[in-house]
Amino acid sequence: MSDLQAISSAYQTLLGMIGEVEPRIAQATRQELTDQRGSLKLIASENYASLPVLATMGTWLSDKYAEGTVGHRFYAGCQNVDTVETVAAEHARELFGAEYAYVQPHSGIDANLTAYWAILANRVETPALSEFGVRGVADLSEQDWETLRHRFGDQRLLGMSLDAGGHLTHGFRPNVSGKMFHQRSYGTDPETQLLDYDALAAQAREFKPLIIVAGYSAYPRRVNFAKMREIADSVGAVLMVDMAHFAGLVAGKVFTGEEDPVPYAHVVTTTTHKSLRGPRGGMVLATEEFAPSVDRGCPLVLGGPLSHVMAAKAVALAEARTEAFRTYAQNVADNAKALAEGLLTRGVNLVTGGTDNHIVLMDVGSFGITGRQAEAALLESGIVTNRNSVPNDPNGAWYTSGVRLGTPALTSRGFTTSDMDAVADLIAGVLKHTVPTTTAKGEPSKAKYDLSADARQTSLDGAAALVGAHPLYPGFEI
């Protein structure tokens, strides 16, 4: 990196300028860096973007309205945004080998919404929203949705169940995808906890979905997308793959051949801020067949594109094309394996018995605690994670029995496999010394717990030593 000292002092100046307008925001921004630097971040969906990616977001590209597509904007003066969007889409197409890339979605949810409407528009005669006398999908009533679903031909969506690792946007009621479609979900094998392709194929034959969604947020294994496409073809369904979590492993060529979704899916959606290490945002990759419908994402479900974020996507994708990024992606997977082995050796149960991607899902039930207690005990011990359901979770979706771990963020700081073994030691130490308190009824609490002060301090010291050895943005001081 060029002259870090100069970059540091530029940021100091910028934060000083911001502080003159609203000191609390300058302070919170500084504090966030301190906090991120000081803890072991094992949240599987988070990462650290590079300084060039972060800096690209803080510019006047934010000031431009550019609804429409490159060369076909609803506003004048979009020549520079056209350049930005063209470069980002070009990088995305080349990096992932996709026929078409749409880089406007503001987030993963927006990318999925764009994809769902595009698939409907492509395969089904869809009524115009204006017929309902509303301005946007958010204004539709329950009755309108019922009518809409019917007008779509009562289309069906088959996605992975939440407790097997699927995502809310794969057809679940709190998300609009659960209102647009009749949804059913596929789970994992009760014994192995692995995807059961034969069971999925049988389910697809019976349910006859318009769309099969593959992809996950908490499944610690690779998926065979060739098999997924075969299943989709066997029932005439569209295969949509949501690679939000593992896009970095695809970009870094850790997932190749049948584990690469792009050659097999009709439509691929993703976030750009998880393992891909880009800015917070989303993206849709599609075959030529679906490209014209995907292009209508704005204004169908998206507002004006975030030009500054599209610019940062272009920078992040340029980084992801490098040999260094391939090494990074391989290290993410190697580190997850080392973390899993370290935990197994220390008696921690893992869903599916291990990992071959960037996710490790602990089942903490054997320690007599809930996911919520484990998450809280780890947090006060310097380890940031999130609780997560395990398949058929006895503690439900709020307390849970699982804790999800991921290696993208620590790998960005340069953690190695031996560091991951040390992290596993800290985690196991905390879990072993966390006991539920007893409720008034004499039952173990699902939320309150006691953690021994010694175990907590050992973990805090260990975490401090590890993050100290691998500084975030080394040399960057604000």
Ligand X SMILES: *Cc1c(COP(=O)(O)O)cnc(C)c1O
Contact flag: residue 68 with ligand X (CB under 6 A): no
- Rounded to the nearest whole angstrom, what is the least distance from the CB of residue 207 to ligand X in the complex? 21
399 is catalytic: no
Residue 279 engages ligand X in binding (rule: CB under 6 A) = no
Is 41 part of the annotated catalytic residue set?
A: no
Binding characters for ligand X, 106-145, by CB under 6 A (x = yes): -xxx--x---------------------------------
Of the listed 30, 37, 46, 65, which one is catalytic?
65
**Active-site residue flag, 280:** yes
Is 424:346 a contact under the CB 8 Å cutoff? yes
**Applying CB under 6 A, does 389 fall inside the site for ligand X?**
no
- Residue 106 is assigned to a ligand binding site: no
d(CA 455, CA 435): 12
Q: How far, in Å, CA of 314 to CA of 326, rounded?
A: 17
- Select 187 or 342, whichever has its Cβ closest to ligand X: 187
Which residue's CB is nearer to ligand X, number 243 or number 426? Answer: 243
244 forms part of the interface with ligand X (CB under 6 A): yes
253 is annotated as an active-site residue:
no
**Does the annotation count 274 as an active-site position?**
yes
Q: Nearest-CA neighbor of 422 among 473, 454, 458?
A: 458
> Binding residue for ligand X (CB under 6 A) from 91, 156, 167, 179?
167
- 404 in contact with ligand X (CB under 6 A): no
Total chain residues near ligand X (CB under 6 A): 14
Which of the residues 280 through 299 are near ligand X (CB under 6 A)? 282
- Up-side HSE of residue 309: CA atoms within 13 Å toward CB? 18
> Is there binding between residue 242 and ligand X (CB under 6 A)?
yes
Based on the shown chain and the rule CB under 6 A, indicate whether residue 436 belongs to the binding site for ligand X. Answer: no
Q: Which of 73, 123, 221, 245 binds ligand X (CB under 6 A)?
A: 245
| Cβ atoms < 10 Å from Cβ of 140 | 18
Q: Does 395 bind ligand X (CB under 6 A)?
A: no
Give the residue closest to ligand X by C-beta: 108
Based on the shown chain and the rule CB under 6 A, indicate whether residue 183 belongs to the binding site for ligand X: no
Active site annotation includes 421: no
Q: List the 402-406 sheet strands across, edge first.
A: 349-350, 359-363, 402-406, 386-388
Binding residue ranges: 162, 166-168, 288
Binding residue ranges for (6S)-5,6,7,8-tetrahydrofolate: 162, 166-168, 288
Residues with catalytic roles? 65, 67, 242, 271, 274, 280
Q: Which residues bind ligand X (CB under 6 A)?
A: 45, 107-109, 112, 167, 169, 215, 217, 242, 244-245, 271, 282
